[in-house]
Structure 1
């Protein structure tokens, strides 16, 4: 059996994690336009941690979910201008691996964040809402399941 992680690493990539790194003010960030409630709303979310990796805040905007997607499938929202605006709010950011703590925060009745879950003795960290990314031990962010 493994242990629930106190920290994990998020590594930016060209797939589901295009925006992770350090904001101009030193905070760590993860931005996604693939957050969704199955069969419901879609969101653009910016998750922010203090420079030491402890949770700071979540900023979310409800957006239109692309038409024709199966209920459990993640896909980028049609929100390029909103993503650009949220990135601009980060100042001179750097895309780079970040080490942060998992957290969840409920906003308008929807849970957002990186939820620690356990199944058959194995821990994972799932991006919420939508559960479209799952990180596993060794928590280095280099591989994840979608």
Structure 2
């Protein structure tokens, strides 16, 4: 297949995984999300709150990632409180479509971000996956704003 990696990926605001995306009063783009690391292959797994800030061109400028510990002992109220705190810190935001560049950051021995996945073979295509957890995946056309779960 003829596929190429994106420079930017569009994400449309919705009521699901892209509920808290948009712009800050300063014009930065943001993505507030709840990544997770599954408990597989001897790993305990974990829950996180991640706030990604991007400049107006979609380049990552900051990643605030908080670990909430293992999924099995998750304090749901603490997660909700921290999530709401991160959203409040942004100020009077507008929820809207964002266009951001793929990126990755390593924290807690885990890769976070909108991570490029290269094709495995000639029949495969480029993808961008929200990691950890791979709970959002983007494919061409990169400006569609849609994702698979």
Q: TM-score, normalised by structure 1?
A: 0.86
In structure 2, list runs of 5 or more residues that go unmatched. 40-44
d(CA) in 2 for partners of 1:141, 1:95: 17
- The answer to whether the 8 A contact 2:46-2:71 is kept is no
- Identify the structure with the greater strand proportion: 1
Where do 1:52-91 residues align within 5 Å?
A: 52-64=57-69, 67=72, 78=76, 79-91=79-91
The alignment yields a C-alpha RMSD, in angstroms, of 2.0
Higher CA-based Rg: 2
Match of residue 53, structure 2, among 48, 56, 61: 48
Cα–Cα, structure 1 residues 139 and 93, in superposed 2: closer, same or farther, change >3 Å? same
What is the aligned partner in structure 1 of residue 28 from structure 2?
27
d(CA) in 1 for partners of 2:132, 2:55: 22
CA deviations over 1:80-99 (Å, ceiling 9, x no partner): 11111000111111100011
- The answer to whether the 8 A contact 1:135-1:141 is kept is no
d(CA) in 2 for partners of 1:65, 1:47: 22
Q: TM-score, normalised by structure 2?
A: 0.84
In structure 1, list runs of 5 or more residues that go unmatched. 69-76
In the TM superposition, residue 139 of structure 1 has moved relative to its aligned partner by: 1.3
- Identify the structure with the greater helix proportion: 2
In the TM superposition, residue 142 of structure 1 has moved relative to its aligned partner by: 3.4
